[in-house]
Structure formats: structure tokens, C-alpha cells
Structure 1
């Protein structure tokens, strides 16, 4: 489904930026002052339809502990979610609590439409060390206040079909020990060549291979990664060079796309399309994501995030397995470590009831319910363990995702001011490289534009 496919994609652009500007011009919403007498209701929004049943169970468990509070859940598709949320802030119809994204909360906190969770009674006791390492810190603004309660986490891995790999003569162990470098691509690129098959059945490492007529690509394509962060495209490779997006991790005020290390890595990555091992821009529609490509037999290795596990498991006639990201020049593999959170709007009619709901969402009780549903990895260790057990019952070893956390080979999602404006500059620049063949060096000028923008804020 589109909302699931786009779950971690950035959402910005001109319309969104204009809407946020209008929001800033509006007077700040008044703080809720509802009476605590009688029944109380908390409205809650989320976008992932796959998680809706689990959160309906969580809402029932919460109501049993708080019989005077009822949670009303609304699920909206990703394409509508942020548009309606921004419109709700302007019109005074925003939900009390909503699932938040790291690319959003800095702008919302600047606009003063979110409660500081450390200033509400029920949520002020949230502790960083209650969650997987680093997640809770992501939801603190530059002012030191917390604006979101950790909800879940994700890393990136390589999905594949065991049956297809057996036909190619490739073992699980081989896929788990691949290495790459920006010079010749290492064993990873050699594997991609072997897994790529042209229209006449010739592999990419065989004489006569026709890169212009490919039937099965070695690696999935998923756009340019032009959101600036390339989470499910090139971030595992840039991360394994010890490069990071900005001068601080996760918060930063200067981007580093002008550095040789990242430009060499990106040049190597996009050359995979020139060699025929990855589809060129436009071969697949924007709705034909890595999961669809694998399901249709159009790629051999499908890079994607752990939030997509359920989607891959539900594919018919495929024996799905997951390998970890390749080992990079530093001798380590890498994955972005991202996570969603729950935030409270200042339009909440009953802020303390909303805070109780958010505190419950972050509890072991709630996160174990979500974990047992087997859709995502909840932020608390107990929830993660429940999810791992659920996936195991369905026949999938998810250690490719969890080992990144256990071995501390993750890097945090970059958080920056004015993310919508930053993306408005980065997106076309990356698209120009992937789609139009512009030199990687053009990112140097874009990087300067982004840093000039951040210097003004």
C-alpha cells in the first residue's frame, strides 16, 4: 500500500512549505482547558494501516486501566496525513495526539503547536534509557525539551527470495558477508553482476551481457534518495564510510555533501544503473517500490526498511529471507537508525488525558502488544523481543535488522531545522544526478545553498 511504501519518505515541497508558513502566521492554538469530570476522549492519528489493529488493541488496554478516558483512532494514508494535519493546525481541528516523524517535529516545535512532554505530569518521567539506545534523544529539540515519546525503530536490510538465490548458486552465508568499496564495488558489486540477468538469460558477469535489455536487476531501485538522506537507497554505503550528513549527529546546522568521501560513494552507487545492475530512473513507476520489484521477479536484492517486513512476508510464492547490509571500507556494516514518536498538540482538549495516553503508548504493556502483532520493532526492548518472537513464528529470522543495533553499527537519522526547505533544494539536485546524469560535483553547489539557508535561520 502507498502509505506503507512511503512510511519513511520525507514529505515536503512547495505546498507544504506554504501551509506551514500560513500556520506560523496564525495565532497559536489555545491550550486545552477541558474539565476532568465525566468521560474524557483523546483523538489519535496514525498513517500505517498495517498497525491499526494493534493500536486498537492498545486503546482497549488503556481504557481498561483508565475507564474514564476513551481513545478515538483515525488512520489516514500517508499522502493525506500531513496535508490534513497541517490544515488541522490552521483550522483548529488537529488531533490531540498524532504519530510524528523526525522530519516534522523541528518545524512544528518552532511553530509552538506541540506540547513539551517534559512539562506534562504523565509524560515528564520519560527516560532515555527506557528505550533502545539513542531513540529518545532524537525527540529532544535544540532547546533540550522532549516533543515526542519513542514509538518504534527501524534499520535497513537486503530482502531476497531463497529460491531465486538457489537457482543463482548463492548461499545465505555469501550474502551475509558481502563487502563493498567505492573503487570497484568489492564482492558486493560482483554479486550484483552475477544476480543481474538480461533478456537473453545472460548474467552480468558473463560475456555478451546486454545492459540495455535487463530482465532481472541485481539490486532494487527506489529513486534518487533525493530526500537528502537516501535511507533505503545509498545510506548503508555512505554510513559505512563513517561519513555523516551534518556537522553534528543527529542535530546539525551544516550539511557535508561537498566532501569527497560521500561524492565518491554516491558516484559509485549511481554507476550501478549505468552498468545495468540497477534500473535507471524511470524504468519503474514511483509506485513500483523495492518490494513490488522483488515480488515481480524484477530484482534479486531488495533494499528496504524493517517496517516493510510484513509486506514481504505476505508475498505469495516467495521464500523470503533478509541479509544485513554490506561491510564497508571501515570494516563495518552500517544502517540508519530511525524511529517514530507520539506527539501532543496544543489543541488537545484535555492535555493531561492526552499525556496519559502517550505515556501508555510508550510503556512495556503497549509496546509488547504492538510487538506481538509482528509489523514493526517497538522502541522498548521488551517490545522488540515480542516482535522478534512474532517474526520467528512466521518463519523469518530478523537478526539482519537487530544485529545492527546490538553491534552498534547504526547511525542516527539526521535532524535539522527547516527540513521542508532543505528537501526542496536537495530533491531536484539528487534527481538531476540519477535521472539526468548530472555530475556528482553539482552537489557541492547545492550543499552551499542548503548551508546558506540554515545560516539564516
Structure 2
């Protein structure tokens, strides 16, 4: 999934698009949709669809599983061909938005909640409702709430869920054992924005400088840290902070917007948010967490594998990356319980969408339905890379990880315990990122106080006026 939360890189490409974009021509070869284009929401005839289409995704670890899905689809549908292209996360959105402008976008592509609202406003996506209804497709077969996320403000559906993710803590058990920190302590940590609670105490104790002094010992040198007690994933997190700080703001009773999805007022000015971000900034200042500059553009699993982090919060889509290293003893623990009395995790999910300029929308729709079905999602689940959106696929993923001797309940327990909150879905995602990236970088770098986020919040909310 690699939905890395260096959101600036992910979203900046959308800024090159204007609302005047048109969706004519382009796409892959194959049968012409003719009058049955589906662009106006009409049903597409998927029953006799043949030909060739293109499909884009950004996660190289997932490509083999989706190639297996394509192979099965082609076997079941003679005369069809699915051409899969994979691009790194940093390039994916720029290539996609550029291809919209050039009328050469893929027929089907992996879509993100932070993006599709803008794509809908630019008339780049095909509504699926009529086609799904005609084909009797069950949109209620997914994990609770996932399908609803892909219904736009116009009430039309623009994607079928493919997976979901949550956030948890990865830790180096060699480091925790050496520090005398038990697995039970890690499972029961609590935090608050005033003194950090037992969570900060553990972080401090796990931090070690070049002289072997721990962060809670006299003589600790924060300018020469060898192992950080808590890592930082890829930067400041801009306005979303999925793996950087959202689990803390979520467990502090804070909500991104007045409603979700499609809120029109952000709450970056509220004390619960600013107090939490100020606490994160203090962790960096104390030397317990690396600086934003040191980690921007870096891979948290790679830094962890190099022995630089004792713990780091990251998403379920990175499980395979963390456990790929043979040099580190990896284990997981839940995110800490906050002032709300519960821990928390952002709940995000990808989907597959159809480009409005596709020349073979019937086959594109048939492929999207297959991607959103148990036939494909069970294959993806068995590959143990992500958690598919359909429960049977999730079960297969859990079984596959269990067979490897790996416990992933710190991720899945968020669903069982209902401790998730939604990724913020609103208009103006690109502009919000531009504002909040700079604002959050300044705060976490110690250049400005957390109270400066009030001005950023004003700028964000002016976008909705």
C-alpha cells in the first residue's frame, strides 16, 4: 500500500490540474464504449466486455498478488488483457495527474481518499452505481464503513474498496529486552500531552546516545543519539499525520473536521490538537525522536532495520517491509492509550476507480468489480501484504501472518475494539496540504510554537468560504 504520509509529495501533483480539464480521448485500446460510456452515470454492459485495458498501482510489494488476480481474470474472461504498471509513491500521483492533462491516463487506477474528491470535481472519474446495480454487485460485503467512504458529495460511488489499514507500534525486541522493558509494559502504555505518561518514560529509557547513556539518565547527550526511543515516519505528516501523530490526537479526543466525510471546517486551532503537537515537538527537542529534516523522504522500515529506532509507529501496509529484515527482532504493540481512555488509529482504505477517458469502460468496470470481489481479495490476503477490504480476505491475511509466527492483532484489534477514526475526506486536499506541510514542519522543527497552527487553521478554513 505504501500510503506514505509525506503528503506533500503525494498531493502536489494535483495542483497542476484545473477544473477546466476535459476527459476526451486517451486510454488503452480495446472496444469503444460507444454511447454506453457510463460517464453520465449510466450502466455499462460488462457481460460481453473484451479487449485490453491498463491498470496502475503504486506498491511494488502488491504487484505480484494483483498480477495473479489479472491472470485469473484473463482465464475467466477469454479475449481480455490487463496491463499492470507500478510506479513508486513519489512518482505515482505526478504521473497520474500529468496523464489526465495529456488524455493518456490508465483505464483503472488505485485511488486514495485524499485525492478522489478533487478528481470528481474535475470530472475525471466514472460513477459506478448504475453498473453495480445492473450487475447485482454487493457493496455491503466490505469491512464496516469502507464502501461509504467512496460515495462523493453528489451521492455517487466512485470506487470499490480494495483494502484497509490501521496504525500500530513496531519495536526492536532486542533493544527493549536490553532496556528491561517488557512486552506487557509495551502493551499497556498510556500517554498525555503534559508529561507523556508511561509512554514517554519508555521512549526516554529506550533512547541511547553514542556513549551508552539513556535518555532518562544524567549525562545523556541529545546531540549524539545512537538509537532513538521513538522513530518518526517520513516527516511532519502535514495536515494528516497518519503515522506521525494522528494516533495521539485521536486518543486525545480531537477530530479533524466538523463532520467526516465532506466536512467544511477544520479544527487545527483546538487545544487538544495543539497540545498534542507541542508534546511531539518536545520529544524531538529532547532527543528522543529524530528531527523532521533527518527523516523526510526516508523509509521508516529501512531506518528501523539499520538499528536506529527502538520503536516507531507505522501502518499495517508496512508489515512486510518491517519483517523483511533478518538482522532485527521485530514485534508489535498497540498505540498508547490517551486521555480519552482509549487508544486510537486512523482508518484508511484504498479503492479502484475508472478514468472517464477510458476507451473501454465496460471492461474497466468488469475489472474493477473483480478487484472488489472475494475472488481477487482472497488472493491478495493470502499474499500477506495488506488487509483486504472483504472479511474473507482479511481472514486469509491474518492466517498467512500467523503461519509465519507473526502476531498482527495490534493492528486488527482497532476494528474489534472500535478504536478507529476516519481519514479526513474533504475538498481542497492539495491546498490544505500546502498550508499544513509548512506549518507542521515549522512547529516540529522548533521554529514556531504550536499556537501558530491557529493561523494555519484560518488559512485552511478560508478555502471553504
> Above 0.5 in TM-score?
yes
Cα 1:153–1:354, aligned 2, differ >3 Å: closer, same or farther? same
Cα 1:192/1:121, change in 2 over 3 Å:
closer
Given candidates 261, 279, 302, the residue that maps to 2:272 is 261
Select the residue among 300, 304, 313 that pairs with 1:290.
300
2:56, 2:108 within 8 Å by CA — same for their partners in 1?
yes
- Residue 20, structure 1, aligned to residue 31, structure 2: no
Give secondary structure in 1 for the equivalent of 2:303.
Answer: helix
Q: 1:304 to 1:360 in 2, by over 3 A?
A: same
Alignment pair present for 1:95 and 2:106: yes
Partner of 1:420: 430
Q: Residues 38 and 5 from structure 1, CA distance in 2 versus in 1: closer, same or farther, beyond 3 angstroms?
A: closer
Q: How far is 1:227 from its partner?
A: 2.3
Q: Does 1:210 align with 2:221?
A: yes
Measured after TM superposition, the shift of residue 211 of structure 1 is 2.0
After superposition, the Cα gap between the structure-2 partners of 1:14 and 1:86, relative to the gap in structure 1 and judged at 3 Å, is: closer
Deviation at 1:128, TM superposition (A): 4.5
In terms of mean alpha carbon deviation, does 378-387 or 204-213 score higher? 204-213
Is the 2:25–2:359 contact (alpha carbons within 8 Å) kept by the matching residues of 1? Answer: no
> Aligned runs of 1:218-367 on 2, under 5 Å?
218-282=229-293, 284-367=294-377
Question: 1:126–1:414: structure 2 CA closer, same or farther, 3 Å change rule?
Answer: farther
TM-score under structure 1 length normalisation: 0.93
Q: 1:411 aligns with which of 411, 415, 421?
A: 421
> What is the alpha-carbon distance in structure 2 between the residues aligned to residue 397 and residue 108 of structure 1?
38
Contact 2:233–2:295 (8 Å) recurs in 1: no
**What's the secondary structure of 1:427's corresponding residue?**
helix
Aligned residue for 2:450, secondary structure, equals: coil
- CA shift in 2, pair 1:422/1:7, >3 Å: same
Q: After the TM superposition, which residues 111-190 of structure 1 pair with which residues of structure 2 at under 5 Å, given as runs?
A: 111-121=122-132, 125-190=136-201
3-state SS, counterpart of residue 129 of structure 1: coil
CA distance in 2, matches of 1:125, 1:10: 37
Q: CA deviation at 1:67?
A: 1.6
Determine which of 7, 21, 24 is the counterpart of 1:10.
Answer: 7
Q: Which residue of 1 aligns with 2:32?
A: 33
What is the number of residues matched between the two proteins? Answer: 449
C-alpha distance in 1 between matches for 2:243 and 2:4: 11
State the alpha-carbon separation in 1 of the partners of residues 321 and 92 from structure 2: 21
Using the TM superposition, give the Cα deviation of residue 119 of structure 1 relative to its aligned residue in structure 2, in angstroms. Answer: 2.6
CA contact (8 A) 1:217 1:298 kept: yes
Deviations 1:371-408 (A, max 9, x none): 01111000110010111111112221000000001110
Asked if the contact 1:12/1:420 (under 8 Å) is kept, the reply is no
The answer to whether the 8 Å contact 1:226/1:429 transfers is: no
Q: For the residues of structure 1 that align with 2:115 and 2:339, how far apart are their CA atoms?
A: 33
| Residue pair 2:332, 2:410 contacting (<8 A) in 1 also | yes
- Output the CA distance in 2 between the equivalents of 1:350 and 1:169: 60
For the residues of structure 1 that align with 2:355 and 2:193, how far apart are their CA atoms? 45
Q: TM-score if structure 2 supplies the norm length? A: 0.92
Preserved contact between residue 180 and residue 189 of structure 1 (Cα < 8 Å)? yes
- Secondary structure in 2 matching 1:95: coil
Q: CA deviation at 1:366?
A: 0.6
Work out the CA distance in 1 between the residues paired with 2:322 and 2:9: 27
Distance 1:211 1:383 in 2: 45
Whether 1:434 aligns to 2:441 is no
SS of the equivalent of 2:459 reads: helix
By how many angstroms is 1:89 displaced? 1.4
- Do structure 1's residue 47 and structure 2's residue 58 form an aligned pair? yes
Unaligned regions of 5+ residues in structure 2, if any?
35-44
- How far the C-alpha of 1:30 sits from its partner, in A, is 5.7
Paired residue for 2:118, among 107, 127, 131?
A: 107
Distance 1:451 1:125, change over 3 A: farther
C-alpha contact (below 8 Å) 2:280/2:444 kept by paired residues? no
- Cα gap change, 1:12 to 1:276, in 2 (>3 Å): closer
Q: C-alpha distance in 2, partners of 1:223/1:379?
A: 26
Residue 127 of structure 1 and its aligned partner are, at CA, apart by: 4.3
Q: Secondary structure at the match of 1:318?
A: coil
CA-based RMSD of the aligned residues comes to 2.0
1:51 Cα deviation from its structure 2 partner: 0.5
Q: CA deviation at 1:270?
A: 1.1
How much does 1:102 deviate? 0.8
Distance in 1 separating the partners of 2:379 and 2:194: 46
C-alpha contact (below 8 Å) 2:11/2:115 kept by paired residues: no
- Asked if the contact 2:52–2:82 (Cα under 8 Å) also holds between the matched residues in 1, the reply is yes
